[in-house]
Structure 1
Amino acid sequence: MTITYRNIILATCCLSFIFAGEGKAQSAKKKAKATQEAPAQKAEPNERERQISEALFLDGMKYFMLEDYQQALQLFQKAYTITPDNAALNYKIGETYLHLQEPSSAMPFAQAAVKLNHKNAYYYLLLAQLHSEQKQYDAAAQAFNALLNNVPNSDEYLFNLADLYLSQSRFDDALRTYDRIEKVFGDMEQLHVNRQQIYLRQKNVDKAIAEGEKLLNLNPSEITYFLSQAELYNATSRPNEAILTLQKALRLEPGNPFAHLMLSDLNRQKGNLAESEKQVKQAFTSPSLDIDTKVRILVDFIRQLPNPQIENVALDLVDLTIAAHPNEAKAYAVAADLQTIVGEKESARNNYLKAVKLDDSHFKIWQQIVLLDAELEQSEAMVKHAEQALELFPNQAVFWFYSGTGHLIEKNFEKAVKALEYGKRLSVGEPELVQQFNLQLGDSYNSLKKYQKSDQAYEEVLALDPNNEHVLNNYSYFLSLRNENLENARQMAERLIKQHPNNPTYLDTYAWVLYKMGNYTEARKYLEQAVAISDDATLVEHYGDVLFKLGKKEEAVSQWQKAKLKGEASAFIDKKIKDRKLYE
C-alpha cells in the first residue's frame, strides 16, 4: 500500500478539535525555550487568548480549504503569536508554506510540530516531505523511521520508507525494509516483484530468478510471470529452461503471441530456423498482437536486409500484418519499406499509395512514392503523385523537382520549367538541391530553344561541380547540335571520356562534337569504340553519318539500315536509306 501526503489534509471541524486539544495539553507544560525561529516565549495564554487563537485558526482553515494560502498563512501567523506551542498550528503553518513552495520556511514549524507532539503520524509525514523537497533524503528517511518508532500502529508507512530508499537507489536499505514489511504483513506478491526489480538493477540475475520462482508459486496462473521468468532464463544463457517455461505459459494461454515471439527468438539462437519462422508466424496471426509491436519486429527484419535467409519470412510477415490490420496505414508503410529493400518496387509503391489513402500526413511516404515512380520510369505517375503531394506540402521543394522532372520526360516543357523554377526558389540555401534543379532546367530550356537560359543553368552547375557527368554530356552535345561554341563543347566532352573511357554514350557525344568540327577521322575512331560496346540506334546512325562523310557510302547505308531496325533512329533515317544520301 502507498500513503500519499494528500491524505494528511484534515477537515476543518476535526482540526478545531485537535487544535483545542493541543492547547489544553500544552497549557500544562512549561517551556524552556521556543522552537526554531519562534519568538521568545511570553506568559502562558489564558482561556480568552486561546479562544481568540482558535478562532483565527478556524478562519485560516477556511481560506486554506479555498486554496488562498497567503490569506490562510496570515491568520495562522496571528494565531501563532498567541499560542506558539500548539502542535496542530505549527503543522498547519508548515503545510501552508509547503503549498506556497517555500519548504525552507516550512521546516522549523514541521520540526516544532513533531517535537510538541511525537505521536501524530501526519507531522512526521510533513517533515519527511519537506526534507525530500530539499533533497535531504537521509533526513527524510530518519523522519519515517522516527514515525515508525514513535507512532503506534504505523507499520503501513514502511512502504513509504521503502519507496524513498528505492528512489535514492539505496537498494540494500530498501531490501531490508521489505523484510520488515514481510514480517508485519506476511508474504506479498508485490514484495517479490519489487525485490526482483532491485536484483535486476543490481545485476544479480540469480536472485531475480529465485524471486521469479516465488512469484510463480504464488501465482501459478499469471502468464506475465512466466514470460518474465523466461526472459531471465534467456538472459543467463539458459535457453532450454526458458523454452520449458514458455511452453508452460502456452498451456495456460494457447496462442499467446509474446510467448511465440520469445520461442521464435530462442529457436533462432539455437539454429532451429524452421521452428523460429513457425513461431513468429504464429505470433503474427494472433489478434492480440498489436500493430505497433508487429511494426517494431518488422523494422528489426528490415535492419537485417538484404539477407536471402530472412527475405521470404519477412515478406510473409508483412502480408500477415496487412491481413490483420487492413485499415492501418503503418501496416502498408512498413510492408512497402521492406519490399523496397528487397527490390519489389512495384508492390512497394502500391502499398505506399494504400498507406497515404488511410493517412496522407507523412511527408517521407510521399517522397518514397515519387522516388519509386522515378525508379520504375513511370513519369506520368510521378507527375500525378508529386502534384498530390504538393497539395499537402506546397513548400517542399523535392515534390516540385519530381513534378518538373516528370513533365520534362513527358515533354511538357513549359510545365516542367514552371515547376522547376518554383522549386529552385524554395531551395535557396541548399546548394546541392539547387544543383539538381539546374540540371533539369538546362535540359528543359534547351527543349524550349531558350538556349541562353539553358546555358546559364548548366554553367551554374559546372561552377560548383566542374566534372558533373550529366551537364558535361548534355551541354556539349546540345552545343554541337547548335554548332555553337564547339571548342568549349569539345573540351567538356573530352574531359568526360577521360573520366569514363568505356561509356558508349559519352564516346558518342565526343565523336559527334568532333564530327561537327569536321574531324571525321577522329570521330570515326571514337564511334567505332562506342558501337563495339552498344548497338543503340543513335550511335549506329551517327557511325553511318561519319562513314558517309569519309566517302564510305555503302558502309554508311548499311549502318543506317541497322539503326532503322532498332526503331529509335532520327526522322531522316528512311530518307537517308532511300536516297543513299546524308540529311541533317
Structure 2
Amino acid sequence: MPYLLFGCGCRLMPPFFFPPRLVRMIRPASTLLLALGLLVGGPAYAQQPAAPAPVKKTDQPEKPRKLTRREKKEMQRQAALEAAKSQQQSQLTEKDRELSAAYFVDGVKFMLLEDYPKAQERLLKAYQLDPNNAAINYKIAENNLLIGNLKDAANFAQAAVRLDGKNPYYYLILAQIYASQKQYSEAAQVYTKLIQDVPDSKSYLFNLAELYLAQGKLTDALGAFEQAEKEFGPMDEVSFKKQQIYLKQNNLDKALLEGEALISANPDEVRYVLAQAEMYAANNRLPDAIRVAQQALRKEPDNPQAHMILADAYRQQGNATESEKQIKQAFESPALSIDQKVRILVDYLKQLPNPAVQHTALELADITTRVHPKEAKAYSVAGDVQLLSEQKPKARENYLRALHLDNSHYKIWQQVVLIDAELAQSDSLLRHTDQALELFPNQASFWFYNGVGHMFAKQPQKAVRSFEQGKKLTSTDPELAAQFDTQLGDAYHELKEFDKSDAAYEAALTFDANNAQALNNYSYYLSLRGKNLPRAKEMAGKLVKLFPENDTYLDTYAWVLYQLKDYSGARQYLEKAVRTSKDGTVLEHYGDVLYQLGDAPAAVERWQQAKKAGGTSALLDRKIKDRKLYE
C-alpha cells in the first residue's frame, strides 16, 4: 500500500514579495531627517556611491581603451541627464528647494501614519517643485504601491532608477511592483540591471533565481544560483533549490550529487540523509533508499521518517513482514504527528475490508490511540478502522472517547447512533440521541433514531413525539420525510391509532411506491386486522416480486392469503419461507395453514418448533396442548 512520505526540504521565501507593511519598514521614522538631508544637501541621490579607489601609479601611463558604441551612447545619455538635472537645480531657488523638502518630509510623515491620500498630496507638491529628485520619485512610487495604484507606481519607480542608477532600493521597489502584477520577466530584468550596475549587490542573485523559478525558467534559475554560490560559497538551502531544479529537469544524477554534497558538508544533519533516501525511493532505487535510510537510523534510531521510508521500500520489494515492522516502529514515535498517522490510516481505510491489511490497520489504530491519548482524531480514525473491520462495539467505544475530548463533531455522533441502532441497544440509542440532540437540535436524523430507540423500548407514544418533531425538519428532503412516515405508521399501529397509521404508510408509499418496509408492515398489519385485504394483497404481492427469496416478505404475503382463506396459496409461500427461516412467527403461521388444510399432526409439529424458536403468539401453548387451532 502507498505510504505517505514527507520531505524535509525548506523553501526560501522570495525576498521580492514584501507585504505592504514591510515596504514601509524599509524607511523607519528616523528617515525623516535623512530624507530632508537628501533633498537639501545637493543632487538628489538617496545613496551616495562609494569613493573611487585610488589610481595605481605606474612608470608609464596606460593607453586609453577605445570605447564601444554602447558605452559612448550610455555616456551621452548620462551627460544629457546630468545636464538636465543641473539646469533644473540651477533653476530652483533656495526657497523652492526648502519648500520641496518640507512637502517631502510631510509626505513621509503621513505615510508612516498610513494616511496615504495626504501623503500623496504632499509628495506630489514636492515633485512639482523638484521633479528630477530621485528620492521624491521613489517615495511617490512607494505610496502608490501601498494604495494599489500600480501603473503610477511603476512610472515613478522607473524615474527613480533613471535619475539615480546606483541606489538598490529604487530597483527593489520597481521589481516588487512588477512582481506584484506577476510581470516576472520585467522584474527579472530589473534585478539583472541592479546586479550589473550597483556595486555590492550580488546578494540579489537569490531574488533573481526565485523570479526565474516563478516563470518556470529552470536553466536561468540554476545559473543564478550557481553564480550566487561563486560569490558567497555553497549554501544548504541553495543546494536544496538546485536539487529540485535538477529533478524537474529529470537529471537525477546531478540531484543526487547535490544531496551527497549536503550530507558530506553536514554530517550531523539527519534531514539531508532522509531527503537523499526519499529521492532514491521515489526513483525506484530501493537498495540505495534502504542503505541511506539505515544510515539515518544509525544517527537517530527512533527517527519515524526513516522507518517510513524503509517500510515503503520493503513493501515495494515484497517484504511484507519487514515493512509492517518498520511502519509500526514509525507509529510508536510521537515525532510522527497525529495528522501524518491519520493520513496513513486513511490509506488503509480505502482498502478495508481486506484481510491482507486489516490486522495491520487495527494494530496501527491501537498504537495511535496509545501514543496520542489526548487527540480526538486518534480515536475517531481508530473507530473508522474498527467499524470497517466489523468490530462495532470497539468502534463505538473509540468514537465515544473522541467525543469526550471534542463533542462538536456531528459525523462522529452519527456513527455512534448508527451503531446503537444496528446493535438494537435501546438504552444506548436513547442516551446518545438525547445527548446529540442537546448539541444538534435541528438535525432530523437524531430525532429519527431517538424515535427508533423509543420503539425498541416499546414506548410508542414517545416515539411518535420524536418522529413528528423530526419530520418538521424535512421540508427540503422528501426522501427523509418518507422514512419518518414509515416509522410513524409503525408507531401509530402500536398505539392502535389505525387511521393515522394507514395515512402515514400511504404518505410514505406516495413518495416511493416500492418502499419495502412500508409495503411489508402496512400489508401485514392490515391482514392482522382483517381490513382492506385486497390492498394488502396488492402490496404484499409486489413485495415478493421485488424480493422473491426474502422469508419475511414471503410470510407476509402468505398471511394475507391466509386471511383471504387461500390456504393452498399461503402454504406454497410458507413452504418456501421455512426453507431459510427459523423464525417462530413464520413456523407458527405454517402450522396454522397446515391445520386449515386438515393436517393436524403436521400442524402440531410446526407449532412445537415455533415454541422452541420463540417470538410467537400468546395462543401457541393452547394450540399445542389442545392440538387445535385458536385465533
**TM-score, normalisation: structure 2:** 0.86
Residue number in structure 1 paired with 2:33:
13
Separation in structure 2 between the aligned mates of residue 131 and residue 540 of structure 1, nearest angstrom = 86
Amino acid at match of 1:526: Y
Distance of 1:317 and 1:158 partners within structure 2? 48
The offset of 1:262, in angstroms, is 1.0
RMSD between aligned residues: 2.5
CA pair 295-15 structure 1, distance change in 2 beyond 3 A: same
Look up the match of 1:145. 192
Residues 319-330 of structure 1 correspond to what in structure 2 (within 5 A)?
Answer: 319-330=366-377
CA-CA distance at 1:34 after TM superposition: 7.2
Distance in 1 (alpha carbons) for counterparts of 2:406 and 2:381: 13
Question: Larger deviation: 442-451 or 238-247?
Answer: 442-451
Structure 2 spans left out of the alignment, 5+ residues: 1-11, 47-78
Which runs of structure 2 are paired with 1:408-487 in the superposition (5 Å)?
408-487=455-534
1:332–1:355 CA contact under 8 A, matched in 2: yes
**Map 1:38-187 → 2, pairs under 5 A:** 44-187=91-234
Offset, 1:347: 0.9
Choose 490-499 or 361-370, whichever is displaced more: 490-499
Deviations along 1:65-91, whole A, 9 cap, x unmatched?
A: 323232222222222232222222222
Instruction: Name the % identity.
Output: 52
CA distance 1:535–1:195, change in 2 (3 Å): closer
CA 1:309–1:108: 2 relative to 1, 3 Å: closer
Counterpart of 1:349 in structure 2 is 396
In the alignment, structure 1 residue 189 sits paired with structure 2 residue 198: no
Counterpart of 2:592? Answer: 545
Greater displacement, 219-228 / 76-85: 76-85
Whole-Å Cα distance in 1 between the matches of residues 524 and 449 of structure 2?
24
State the distance in 2 between where 1:106 and 1:540 align: 91
The 5 Å alignment of 1:344-383 reads 344-383=391-430
State the Cα distance separating 1:404 from its structure 2 match: 0.9
Q: CA deviation at 1:33?
A: 9.3
| Greater RCO (CA < 8 Å, at least 6 residues apart) | 2
Q: CA deviation at 1:249?
A: 0.4
How far apart, CA to CA, are the structure 2 residues paired with 1:139 and 1:12?
31
The answer on whether the counterparts of 2:443 and 2:473 sit within 8 Å (CA) in structure 1 is yes
Counterpart Cα distance in 1 of 2:200 and 2:548: 93
Number of aligned positions between the proteins: 579
SS of the equivalent of 1:224 reads helix
Partner of 2:51: none
* 8 Å contact from structure 2 (residues 175, 187) kept in 1: yes
Question: What is the rounded CA distance, in whole Å, between the counterparts of 2:480 and 2:610 in structure 1?
Answer: 38
Q: What is the correspondence of 1:139-538 to structure 2 with a 5 Å cutoff? A: 139-538=186-585
Q: Distance in 1 between matches of 2:385 and 2:228?
A: 53
Shift of 1:433: 1.4
CA distance in 2, matches of 1:499, 1:370: 30
Alpha-carbon distance change, 421 to 178 in structure 1, aligned in 2, over 3 angstroms: same
- Measured at CA, do residues 25 and 218 of structure 1 come closer, stay the same or move farther in structure 2, by a change above 3 Å? closer
Offset at residue 51 of structure 1 (A): 2.5
Greater Cα offset, 469-478 or 550-559: 550-559
CA shift digits 1:304-359 (9 cap, x unpaired): 22221221121111111111112221111111100111111111111111111111
Task: Report which stretch shifted further, 362-371 or 53-62.
Answer: 53-62
Deviations 1:413-433 (A, max 9, x none): 011111111112211221221
C-alpha distance in structure 1 between counterparts of 2:233 and 2:460, whole Å: 84
Amino acid at match of 1:159: F
Structure 2 CA distance, aligned partners of 1:77 and 1:292? 54
3-state secondary structure, aligned to 1:426: coil
CA distance in 2, matches of 1:172, 1:183: 17
Query: C-alpha displacement at 1:42, in angstroms?
Result: 9.8
Q: Secondary structure at the match of 1:360?
A: coil
Q: Cα gap change, 1:8/1:577 in structure 2, threshold over 3 Å: closer, same or farther? A: closer
**Post-superposition offset of 1:279:** 0.7
The alignment partner of 1:565 has SS state of: helix
Residue 7 of structure 1: how far off its partner (Å): 5.9
Q: Judging changes above 3 Å, is the alpha-carbon distance between structure 1 residues 218 and 120 closer, same or farther for their aligned structure 2 residues?
A: same
- Quick one: distance in 2 between partners of 1:196 and 1:180? 16
Shift of 1:258: 0.8
Q: Name the counterpart of 2:60.
A: none
> Matched residues in 2 for 1:410 and 1:166: separation?
68
How far the C-alpha of 1:30 sits from its partner, in A, is 7.6
For residue 25 of structure 1, report the CA deviation from its aligned partner: 8.4
SS at match of 2:379: helix
Rounded Cα–Cα distance in structure 1 between residues aligned with 2:45 and 2:243: 48
Superposed displacement of residue 182, structure 1: 1.5
Mean Cα displacement is larger for which, 523-532 or 293-302?
523-532
Question: Quick check: 2:45–2:135 contact (8 Å CA) kept in 1?
Answer: no
Q: Is the alpha carbon distance of 1:412 and 1:172 closer, same or farther for their aligned partners in structure 2, counting shifts above 3 Å?
A: same
* Distance in 1 of aligned mates of 2:582 and 2:230: 91
State how far apart, in whole Å, the 2-side matches of 1:49 and 1:227 are.
66
Q: Secondary structure at the match of 2:91?
A: coil
Higher mean C-alpha deviation, range 16-25 or range 333-342: 16-25
Equivalent position amino acid for 1:79 in 2? A
- Structure 1 411/84 Cα, relative in aligned 2: closer, same or farther at 3 Å? same
CA contact (8 A) 1:23 1:83 kept: no
User: How many angstroms does 1:527 deviate by?
Assistant: 2.9
Q: CA offsets, 1:264-321, max 9 Å, x none?
A: 1110110111111111111111232221111111111111222212211211111111
